[in-house]
Structure 1
Amino acid sequence: MVGTAPSTVSQNWVTNGRLAKSWDRGVKSRPVALVYGAVVFATDNRKMYRHMAASVALPDGATVLDVPSGGGVVLLGLDPARDVAYTAADISPIMLERVRAEAGKRGLRNVRTQEADAGALPFEDGVFDAVVSYSGLHCVPDPAAAVREMARVVKPGGTVRGSVVVRKAGFVTDRFIDLWVKLNILDVVTPVSEVLRWFDDAGLVKVRTETSGAVLYFEYTRAV
């Protein structure tokens, strides 16, 4: 499957080690993430940690894909006592290296990494029980294509959950978004209505969505 050409933003996340590492450290530090979320996106990032933990609270033997995974912040919510197979897919080798380091630090053995374009995933149809995507869709050049790929690789009855930054939550949050786009940190950021259209067009069934400041949390399923 042919993916979209890497954007300037994608290349920035691939080549800018300082950006990738500082973002990953910040999002994994709850005090830093709480302040950043409140100031920049008018959100309480404690909700993100709770949402992530619920997304990977899966039964033994379940498979989960995290895309784009970043440095594996979702691993903070994964219980080492559960036998859940976690696959991190990201375009950035720097981020995937950090996933492996995080898994080692947490004693998580059933962790796999895969360098991949979110818009053209190298996986067969319907192979994951769950697909998660936290704070990543706004960093890819064609988020609608990425959502279609998520819908393709999740099993019928499986879930697609995560979060994405959205526009029109307020004047201050939109100005921060404009700045991050100008600095090639964020790529495509749209209002909530457009994000919901990505999931509808991919044929996913909405379970629930909720906004917290400039962050939209979503939960969808693939029809059986």
Structure 2
Amino acid sequence: MVSAGDRSGATSAVSENWRTNRRLAAMWDRGVKSRPVALVYGALVFATDNRRMYRHMDAVAEAADGSAILDVPSGGGVVLRALRPGRNLRYVACDISALMLDRARAEASGLGLDYVEYEEADATRLPFGDGEFDVVVSYSGLHCLPDPGAAVREWARVLRPGGTVRGSVVVRGAAFLPDRFIDLWVRMRILDVVTPVDGVLRWFGDAGLRTVRVHRSGAILYFELEKDRA
């Protein structure tokens, strides 16, 4: 297990901001869980329709009974809204921020999801075994990490052969205004490494993950990946 004090190799000012800034955690979590707020924010800041985000997350509910799912970084657990009580699933919400995990616990409790586990850990050094999960989900998280490529390699490591990844990431190059907002959020230590689409696809390929489907909506790239069965 990676302890809260054992992250020296991968933290950054952005990671620490998300880990310790209670106001930032609360504002982001409330905003992404409020569809009206998320729709307005997405349209104005990233030129995207965030209804796509919710629909993309909803597919997590299609996981087969008995599946092990890793949500990293989980934030406050917005993906949990796609699930229902009583499922035969192992669902692990993993985040560097104890503040976010507290919010995920509250979300799961309110939804009656008693099968959710919680792990405070660095996304670039996951405390899980090789091939431990059938599915990895990662929404709006890669762009907050100091080394997104390392995080993607960890997805590949903890996935079983044939396992899948679903998620989203902020990308540069969509339009003038989203790129200016990205610059602002980087200066404010809210976003860390943000690249054009080809940089993200390179992370996936370097990790040995096959791109099944990608779709860009404004400055948000949605992706579905698979680990080779061989």
With the shorter chain as reference, the TM-score category is over 0.9
Which residue identity lines up with residue 69 of structure 1 in the other structure?
Answer: S
Question: Match of 1:10?
Answer: 15
Matched, 1:214 2:219: yes
* C-alpha distance after superposition, 1:78-127 (max 9, x if no partner): 12243222101100000001111000000001000000100000000001
Which residue identity lines up with residue 95 of structure 1 in the other structure?
Answer: M
Q: Measure the CA separation in 1 of the matches of 2:164 and 2:136.
A: 6
Q: CA 1:9/1:208 → structure 2, altered by over 3 Å: closer, same or farther? A: same
Q: TM-score, normalised by structure 2?
A: 0.95
Question: Match of 1:76?
Answer: 81
Q: Measure the CA separation in 1 of the matches of 2:87 and 2:38.
A: 26
RMSD (Å) for aligned C-alpha atoms: 1.2
Q: Is the 1:56–1:64 contact (alpha carbons within 8 Å) kept by the matching residues of 2?
A: no
Question: Match of 1:191?
Answer: 196
Alignment partner for residue 51 of structure 2, among 25, 46, 56?
Answer: 46
Matched, 1:21 2:26: yes
Which residue identity lines up with residue 102 of structure 1 in the other structure?
Answer: E
Secondary structure of 1:88's counterpart equals strand
Q: TM-score, normalised by structure 1?
A: 0.97
After superposition, where does 1:124-143 map in structure 2 within 5 Å?
124-143=129-148
Aligned length: 224
Secondary structure of 2:226's counterpart equals strand
In structure 1, stretches of 5+ residues that fail to align are none
After superposition, where does 1:82-101 map in structure 2 within 5 Å?
82-101=87-106
Q: Measure the CA separation in 2 of the matches of 1:5 and 1:127.
A: 22
Q: Measure the CA separation in 2 of the matches of 1:85 and 1:153.
A: 14
* C-alpha distance after superposition, 1:18-74 (max 9, x if no partner): 000110010011111011001000101110011011134211111100001111111
Q: Measure the CA separation in 2 of the matches of 1:78 and 1:216.
A: 23
Which residue identity lines up with residue 24 of structure 1 in the other structure?
Answer: D
Most deviating of 126-135 and 1-10? 1-10
Which residue identity lines up with residue 60 of structure 1 in the other structure?
Answer: D
Which residue identity lines up with residue 79 of structure 2 in the other structure?
Answer: V
In structure 2, stretches of 5+ residues that fail to align are none
Q: Measure the CA separation in 2 of the matches of 1:21 and 1:43.
A: 22
Question: Match of 1:205?
Answer: 210
Q: Measure the CA separation in 1 of the matches of 2:191 and 2:84.
A: 30
Q: Measure the CA separation in 2 of the matches of 1:154 and 1:44.
A: 30
Q: Measure the CA separation in 1 of the matches of 2:86 and 2:179.
A: 41
Q: Is the 1:159–1:222 contact (alpha carbons within 8 Å) kept by the matching residues of 2?
A: yes
Which residue identity lines up with residue 180 of structure 1 in the other structure?
Answer: W
Q: Measure the CA separation in 2 of the matches of 1:217 and 1:6.
A: 25
Alignment partner for residue 110 of structure 2, among 105, 113, 121?
Answer: 105
In percent, how many aligned pairs have the same letter? Answer: 67
Q: Is the 1:141–1:188 contact (alpha carbons within 8 Å) kept by the matching residues of 2?
A: yes
